[in-house]
Structure formats: structure tokens, C-alpha cells
Amino acid sequence: MFLSTSHNKIDKKGRVSVPRNFRTYLDLEGGSLILFKSLQLKCIEGTTLKRISQYVEAIDEIDSMSKDASILRMMMADSFEIKYDNEGRINIPESLLSYADIDDIAVFAGIGKSFMIWSDIEYEKEYQNTQKILQSSGPPKLILNKKAGVSNE
């Protein structure tokens, strides 16, 4: 899985290192890295080719004339398949960097089956926002094993 957070500097040639643990997971899943504009947040999302294939299958299951299908098709059209070099570096396309306001630092945040790449400023805003929600509402209630009926309550 993609887990943890890493603040990585973008070099003068526009390359940034993908965290080693992310590359390990990508290699296990076939090595392809897919990047696209987040539909909900001011960041870039990244995932495996296997996971993006699940998105494509899900799109095929909804009404092809719906607004949802249109939005998801455009997300796919704005997606990039990226390969990292022998040192684990990638060049993030300018359209994605611009969308996420990323300049010199890329913050990689693992969220399980995918990850997000933020500007350091936007990441800090989102982190502080989630901390405020946590303080005011408490932790989310999760059902960790639906079959056994186990929850964290």
C-alpha cells in the first residue's frame, strides 16, 4: 500500500523522487504510475495501472450519458502514465504541477491504494483542516471487518 508522507524537493531539471516505499508497491503492481488531477482537492492523485483500470471498469457500469460519466472520462483524458528513472525520479507534467500549485517541494501523502501529491502550502492547509475536524467531531467511526461485525467503537 501507499502509506506515509514525504516532502521531496523538485530539482532544477524538474525531477522529483518518488518515495522508495511507493516505488516498491508500484513495482509489485506492475511498475506503472498513473497521475491525474484530483476531482475533490487541490492536489495530484497517483495510483497503479491496476487501480486506474478499476476506475475505468466502474465508469463502464454507470450511465454513459450522465454527468458523472462525463466528469470521469475527462479525468481519464487528463491522466498521465509516468515511468520513473533508475534513481526513482519522475517529471510531473506541467499541467498537473500548475493545477496543484506545486513549485519546489512535492509532498507525497500515501492514502492506501493511491496517494496524493500536494504543494507544501496546500498540504499544510489540508492537514490543519483535518485536525480541526478531528478536534470538533472526534475520530471517524470505522467498521473494520463487515463480515465479523467488528468496529472501532
pLDDT of residue 149: 52
pLDDT of residue 49: 92
Which residues are 44's β-sheet partners? 37, 117
Q: What is the pLDDT of residues 45-74, one digit of tens each?
A: 999 999 998 888 888 888 888 898 888 888
- Cβ-Cβ contacts under 8 Å for 143 (sequence gap 6 or more): 149, 150, 151
pLDDT of residue 59: 84
Compute, in degrees rounded to 10, the torsion defined by CA atoms 91, 10, 37, 80: 10
Confidence (pTM): 0.88
Q: Which residue has the higher pLDDT, 30 or 47?
A: 47
Q: Flag whether pLDDT at 17 surpasses 90.
A: yes
Q: Which residue has the higher pLDDT, 44 or 140?
A: 44
Q: Which residue has the higher pLDDT, 134 or 146?
A: 134
- Cβ-Cβ contacts under 8 Å for 81 (sequence gap 6 or more): 32, 33, 34, 49
Mean pLDDT of the chain: 91
Nearest to 22 by CA among 121, 151, 117, 95: 117
pLDDT of residue 48: 95
